Structure 1
Amino acid sequence: MRIGLIADTHLPSLVRSLDELGPQIADVLRGVDLILHAGDVTAPSVVEWCAQFAPVLIAEGNNDIFDDARMAKKQMLDIHGWRIGMAHELRPESRPIDQILQSSLDGERVDVLIGGDTHVERLEFRDNVLLINSGSPILPHHLSTRLGTVGILEVTPASVRSEIVVLGHSEGSANPCKAMYLEVMAEHLSRHGGGLTAEAAR
């Protein structure tokens, strides 16, 4: 399964659609099977824009003051035996994973943990958990409106492959983000009591 990861799509008042920033965001999301939005959607129109590509699930952010059946404080999925959890706020992301899980997912154990809120891309394998923050596609690093990052997660029974995709530069505004890639292999899926090992990163 190929999953698109997006977060913190705070549309400025003069921007009506993510398309106005160019085709790059759509190009990455086109062809995914599912989109996970890690919160601070801010505008319901963004949900419908994402839904043109694939079904959407949302972790409610602190700026999401609208109702949507696809949105919840946390999202939990089981895909090919991998347990995936998503909540908007994981910060400070440098804390031990157990502390993050306790505060963000009520202590539920996961193999993959997805969050947002910081607007800063992050991808790491720590304490047997793959942690992903896809950053913001339009307000990277809390700078002015410009192209930033989205994420891709590819899940198979044997592995999860994750990538932070830098969307390019906006005219007159450099993209401050860094591309990242990490693959985690499962010799035995965690639900069977096995361990996870990081295979490659760059």
Structure 2
Amino acid sequence: MRIGIVSDTHLPNLIRDLDELGPEPARFFASVDLILHSGDLTSPMVLDWLEQFAPVLCTTGNNDPIADQRCQELQILDVHGWRIGMVHSLRRGFRPMAELLQLFPTPVDIIVAGDTHQEVLQYRDGVVVLNSGSPTFPHHKDLRLGTVGVLELAPDRLQAEIVLLGQTPGKPNPGTPARLELQRSSGPSADTP
């Protein structure tokens, strides 16, 4: 299963939907089977836009003032035996994995989060941590194409990736692509520039 990961869209601050940034976001989301949004939508319009491509699960961010029944504080799902836990914030800073795992009521193999607008892909203490950054305000820069994430899950294999959506003319994308592969019976194989 191919899962698109997104966070911190912060719409409609300056634009109504991701189409206004160009065709890249729609192209990316059209390629996935499920979308996980880890909060800071700021408007339910984001979910409406994403749902044209695939089913969406969402967590509530600290900038989501309007409650939407489609979003929860915490999401846990199982895909091909991989347990994914999603929250908006890991409460900033490097924390021991044991502390991060306490955010979830059950053990997880993958943590998906957002909030920082900075992409993170790491494998620590047997857990993949994925923060896709922001597709609209990467690294808290002004409006431009940023980053998203993708998880490809099979029963015996996991591939995770940070994907640059492209470049906005005159505004370089500050994101850094990263890739991690994991076999169920072995450790990770990371490819980070």
Range into which the TM-score falls when normalised by the shorter chain:
over 0.9
Structure 1 stretches lacking a partner, 5+ long:
188-195
Amino acid aligned to 1:9: T
Paired amino acid for 1:147: L
Paired position in structure 2 for 1:134: 132
Which residue does 1:172 correspond to in 2?
A: 170
Q: Report what 2:58 is aligned to.
A: 58
CA distance in 1 between partners of 2:15 and 2:77 (Å): 32
1:5 aligns with 2:8: no
Could you tell me which residue of structure 2 aligns to residue 143 of structure 1?
141
Q: Which amino acid aligns with 1:199?
A: S
Please give the TM-score of this superposition, normalised by the length of structure 1. Answer: 0.91
Question: For the residues of structure 1 that align with 2:85 and 2:73, how far apart are their CA atoms?
Answer: 11
Determine the C-alpha separation between the residues in 2 that align with 1:13 and 1:100.
31
Q: Distance in 1 between matches of 2:145 and 2:169?
A: 9
User: Percent of aligned positions with the same letter in both sequences?
Assistant: 51
C-alpha separation between the residues in 2 aligned to 1:13 and 1:132? 25
Using structure 2 for the length normalisation, give the TM-score: 0.95
Aligned to 1:201: 191
Whether the aligned pair in 2 keeps the contact of 1:93 and 1:100 (CA below 8 Å) is no
Which secondary structure state, in structure 2, belongs to the residue aligned with residue 19 of structure 1?
A: helix
Q: Larger deviation: 75-84 or 13-22?
A: 13-22
Task: List aligned pairs for 1:1-202, cutoff 5 A.
Answer: 1-102=1-102, 104-106=103-105, 108-187=106-185, 197-202=187-192
Distance in 2 (alpha carbons) for counterparts of 1:13 and 1:115: 21
**How many residues align structurally?**
192
Partner SS for 1:171: coil
Separation of aligned partners in 1, 2:42 and 2:156: 36
User: What is the distance in 2 between the residues matched to 1:76 and 1:16?
Assistant: 29
Deviations 1:9-55 (A, max 9, x none): 01253311111011111111113110000100111100000000000
Kept in 2: contact 1:91–1:100 (CA 8 A): no
